[in-house]
Amino acid sequence: MQVTGTSGRPAPLPRSARYYRVRKVLQPWFYNSALIFICVLMLLPVLGTLNISFRRQVDVQRKPPVLFPCDTPERSFDIRACRFVLEGYERIIGPKPNPNALFGVELAGRMISTYLPNTLLYALGASVIVTTLAGMAGYAFSRYHFRLRRTLMVAILAITGIPLLTNLIALYQMGVTLRKAFPGYEERIFLIFVYVGFFLPFSIWIVKSFFDTIPRELEEASFIDGCTPFESLWRIVTPLATPGLASAFLLSFVGVWNEFIAGYLLVSKNTLKTAMFGLYDFIGQFVIGYQVLAAACILIALPVVILFLFTRQVFFRAMVEGALKG
Amino acid sequence: MTGSRSSSGVRIRQGFFSRTLPFWLLLPTLIVLAAVQFYPAFYSIFLSTQEFQAGNMKYVGLRNYERVFSTSTFSDSLFITFAFLAGYATLTLVSSFVVALFLNRKLRLSSLYLTVIFIPWVLSDVIVGLVFRLFVVPDYGLLSSFFADPALFGPPNGVSILTTPPPPQVVPGIPLPPAPALIYLIFASAWKAVPFTTVLILAALQTVPREILESASIDGASAFNSFRFITFPLVLPTMVVALFNLTLGGVNGVGMVFSLTNGGPGTATEVLSFLLYTIGFGRLEFGRAAALSVFMAVINLALILFTLRLSRTGRA
């Protein structure tokens, strides 16, 4: 029997049941292997860096380079002869015996003792402030209709279009002026506020869209039960909005952690600079210590990668909300 | 700003603080944004009319703009930026679309694949640039010999893809075709951008109603046709949003240029954002750098307003 589609053209001949059975078995295999291939492709740079980071200096400087430092005079690859060491990591961390320090070891490397703590401080400080302010502003935008509401919302959205980069010259000059004007001027606070201003607009939008999904009836019930708006915000809405606040926090945290140019230019003292600056500085310092550079990359990236692996659902949701509903 | 009613009309308790609650909630945000975003934006405009001489500023009108825009460094950089954006956006969109199509199947391991594919997104620009640099350092890089192959990449200088000079210009004065280093930069940037774009497109693919696809296949539409006439048009608005997101990120991204090429060889990878840094902090010509940053801010604002317009109409 000839089946005719709505387009008027004859539909393809019905296929045998066996065709569909085979397809049902083979199709997932096809998709799985394609996706595994894509995953490996995406991970190749990471795996390559890991591979470099565990090499010895002599193996990094082989000419021509070897794919794995596992060759012996007889064979080109022998798994028992692999020479992977921790030298690169040791040179970054710089462990030094020190009886006064915790566990009797002091971590003397600049990256561990200075740059990473700075980055952690800026990232935590900025994202705590961003989350608090975004929660307050997002709630106001989501729940109240006041004069200028639309104007302010559009203005805040438009600000997301002004990148940190184009404000940098002005911010740098502001820093110079402030330093001259106030002897007790603190660069770290200035930098944290720059980060807050930079990550706040986007966070407000994410948090607002989360507040929008919380039914108003809950708050109205709490008003009837005698809550003030502030109590209702704190006791009823905030716990429900935790996923939204968490995503604002995480996105800002990762954003500040990975930021380079402001942390590099707006801070003048080297002891207050960030891990990304440290890494950039290392490029000049370890000219041929490629395993050291690779180890530094891995060490700095590890915290945010682990953070992401544990909280990935929050990231995905926030991202789609933020980008599509803006 | 005296919102005394919650939006659905229930009367709430009327203290002064409660009546003006939205104002107090917004105040800190407005102060921070005014100090760190609005003021510097206007201060940039002011700075762009000043000439810095021995620590003093002098009003020079629009001379800074004239000086920046008339240089060949600027026009070269503009072309390099366009070449970069075109390559970056195309490569990222196409590969993200392919990955998203594969991920849009119900497989047991889908969320694992998505997580793995997403890892590059959490890495910093600087780290990605440095990682890609490590693979092509002269002599010792794992990919150096591949990229130094004269048969594949024209007549190189045999050292590294990052130092190979650009091929001769087709039209004199326009730095195209781009240097191999720029193409390598495009690949590194795309690698980092694919995850985000994939998630966007995947989200859009998942909103395509199953019933429509099923009824199309019952009506005899081939897989390609139902993709061409149903899936693709429904995903297109998201693709446009993704395109503008990519353009925004591409115009402003500077970390990767720093750690991967540092603008070189010569000025072959000096995109606008890197040029801004060079003028401002390399040559300390703050007035001119401010002029360039005003120019870039205008481009950015235009892009974001356009994106908003599009995503609004896409939703309605």
Please tell me the predicted confidence (pLDDT) of residue A93: 84
pLDDT value at A76 more than 50:
yes
pLDDT value at A254 more than 90:
yes
Using a CB-CB distance cutoff of 8 angstroms, which residues of chain A are in contact with residue B222? 12
Please tell me the predicted confidence (pLDDT) of residue B313: 53
Q: Which of A32-36, A159-163, A302-306, B200-204 has the lowest average pLDDT? A: A159-163
**With contact defined as beta carbons under 8 Å apart, do A130 and A207 qualify?**
no
Please tell me the predicted confidence (pLDDT) of residue A172: 92
Q: Find which of B46, B107, B124, B281 to mutate to test the A interface (most A CBs within 10 Å of its CB).
A: B124
- Interface check A326 vs B, CB under 8 A: yes
Of A62, A197, A220, the CB nearest to B37: A197
pLDDT, averaged across chain A: 84
**A46 vs A157, residue with greater confidence:** A46
Please tell me the predicted confidence (pLDDT) of residue B157: 59
CA neighbours within 13 Å on the CB side: how many for B41? Answer: 20
DSSP-derived 3-state class of residue A302: helix
DSSP-derived 3-state class of residue B124: coil
pLDDT less than 70: residues of chain B:
1-15, 17-18, 54, 148-159, 311-316
What angle, 0 to 180 degrees and rounded to 10, lies between the N-to-C axes of helices B39-47 and B286-315?
140
Using a CB-CB distance cutoff of 8 angstroms, which residues of chain B are in contact with residue A222? none
Tens digit of each residue's pLDDT (9 = 90 or more) over B6-53: 444 555 556 676 677 788 889 999 999 999 988 998 999 999 998 887
Of A62, A170, A280, the CB nearest to B43: A170
Go through the domains of chain B in sequence order and give each one's CATH number. 16-47 (no CATH), 68-315 (1.10.3720.10)
Cis ω before A117 (30° cut-off from 0): no
Taking residue A85's Cβ as centre, other Cβ atoms within 10 Å add up to 14
- Interface check A50 vs B, CB under 8 A: no
Using a CB-CB distance cutoff of 8 angstroms, which residues of chain B are in contact with residue A161? 248, 300-301, 303-305
Please tell me the predicted confidence (pLDDT) of residue B303: 84
Tens digit of each residue's pLDDT (9 = 90 or more) over A89-125: 888 887 777 777 777 777 777 888 889 999 999 999 9
Q: Name B184's Cβ contacts closer than 8 Å, sequence gap at least 6.
A: B132, B136, B147, B161, B162, B260, B261
Give the mean pLDDT of A41-51: 92
Q: Is A8 left (phi over 0), alpha (psi -120 to 50) or beta?
A: left
**B310 vs A274, residue with greater confidence:** A274
Of B37, B47, B254, the CB nearest to A165: B254
Interface confidence, given as ipTM, is 0.86
Tens digit of each residue's pLDDT (9 = 90 or more) over A194-244: 999 999 998 998 888 888 888 888 888 888 888 887 788 788 888 888 888
- Interface check A8 vs B, CB under 8 A: no
